[in-house]
Amino acid sequence: MASKEHEFSKNYLILKPQNANIVDLFLFLLPFGFRKRTKFIDCPEGKEDSYTSSFTNRWLIFISIVLQIILLAIATPLAKLDAFLLNVFNFISFNGGILGLLSRILKGESLVKPDENSAEYTSVVGFADWRRDLDKSIKAEEIFRYYGGLTVMAAQLSYESKPFVLSVVNDRWKMKLLGHFNFWNDFQGKATTQAFMFQNTAADPNVTVVAFRGTSPLDAYDWQVDADFSWYDIEGVGRIHSGFMKALGLQKATGWPEELVKSKHHFAYYTLRQKLRDIAKSNDNAKFIITGHSLGGALAALFVTVLSLHRDSAVLEKLQAVYTYSQPRVGDRRFAEFMVNTVKKYGFKYHRYVYSSDLVPRVPFDGVIFKYKHFGRCIYFNSLYKGRIVKEEPNKNYFSLIWVMPKYLNAWWELIRSFIVPLVKGFDYHESLLMKGARVVGLFIPGLAAHIPTDYVNSIRLGKFNPPPQEFEDSIEAD
């Protein structure tokens, strides 16, 4: 049944896990049971059969909806676990670590209560990787590595609060924070998209970096966005993941109007675009870099997509590069072609980093009705931090049976490696207990620990890799 809130798109497929139950889902898989079991699918009138007639299509829809149901079911327990871990880790940190806490207790000293508004209050991602400073061995003259090192740290920093980000950017990096934002999602009815922007006053004041926050490790709703394979067909662009568009600022019924009329909310795309327009207008030498990890990488890519859709040359002509880390697939082949043409037209660089068996770059699936494709060259690092340029990452389907054993063996190696690398490369590569715990979990769910920014930071710092200038820049993932 078509919905009015999707009127901006003539073709779409929206999955609604909240309308599904187990019986309906299993009947949906049957050859003759599916035709009356589409209450959890929203698409234009008359399109139901074309999207559900084949078993492959129904199976992919089934997987997506089941994953979303599971994530929604565990959302509250995960949120409580997240709050518990944040309280415990920050309580220990605010009291000087485990030894400091024990010392305070033994001496009878008062214990410090964590302050959520403090620059010291840290996220789970921040506790997984304790590094805050940039790698001083990478010089600004090494443009590719320097901005790789800067953007991967910015992408990791995006998970933190405004006081924390302000402290790191201004005090540690000696740069200037220009804004930290919580943006509205029109479809969720709340602010769920975070980003920050800063000026590189340390090396080149003309450079402004925008970093989108990615998928929070224990936020089931963030993971649901990744698991939801729904899409909208945007005229002139292609099919694009609906959840990513909603997070960036998609408007109900109107989609992507070029300008908003008196909105009471702040949306990521429109707010950041205006700020970049203002900078471009005031500085002829302005240069922009967009980055993000995980969901943040998808938003970085999509931000450029909508700029190109609106032909916003004032911003695009100042765009120097896009750096994404663990970026999921965003759209179909037509979308990929649109983005390749955009990169060529405006002459910026698009660097998509993938580390080893990280699961997120392998989703959403490249299925018959979804047809999600990566575009541009992939900068791939294996678990030895050896980098190379490839058209697409190995094992592009995370659930491929051929790669099951290599993924598990790799997870064991990554756990062992976490004890070896600090001995060889120094204390900067010492991993926290939380990160080691994630690697243990990764023994059961390979690719999960590989998704955490730590290995992306290590890849850039230890990889020392400079790609050929033009190789695979116009590639699109194969069918």
Active site (catalytic) residues: 294, 358, 451
Report CA 280 to chain centroid distance, whole Å: 26
Report d(CA 238, CA 254) in Å as an integer.
17
Cα separations (Å) of 411 from 185, 259, 408, 439?
36, 47, 5, 7
Return the H-helix or E-strand segment holding 239: strand 238-241
Smallest CA-to-CA distance from 319 within 351, 296, 352, 287 is with 287
Confirm if 413 and 383 have CB atoms less than 8 A apart.
yes
Q: Is cis: bond before 17, omega within 30 of 0?
A: no
Contacts 24+ apart (CB under 8 A), 18-25: 18/72, 20/65, 20/69, 25/62, 25/65, 25/66
Contact criterion met (CB below 8 Å) for 193 and 248: yes
Q: Which of 56, 12, 48, 13 is nearest to 31 (CA)?
A: 56
Pairing status of strand 176-185 against strand 190-199: antiparallel
Token pair, residue 93, equals 């940190």
* Cβ-contact 318, 276 below 8 angstroms: yes
**Which residue's entry shows tokens 């983005």?**
339
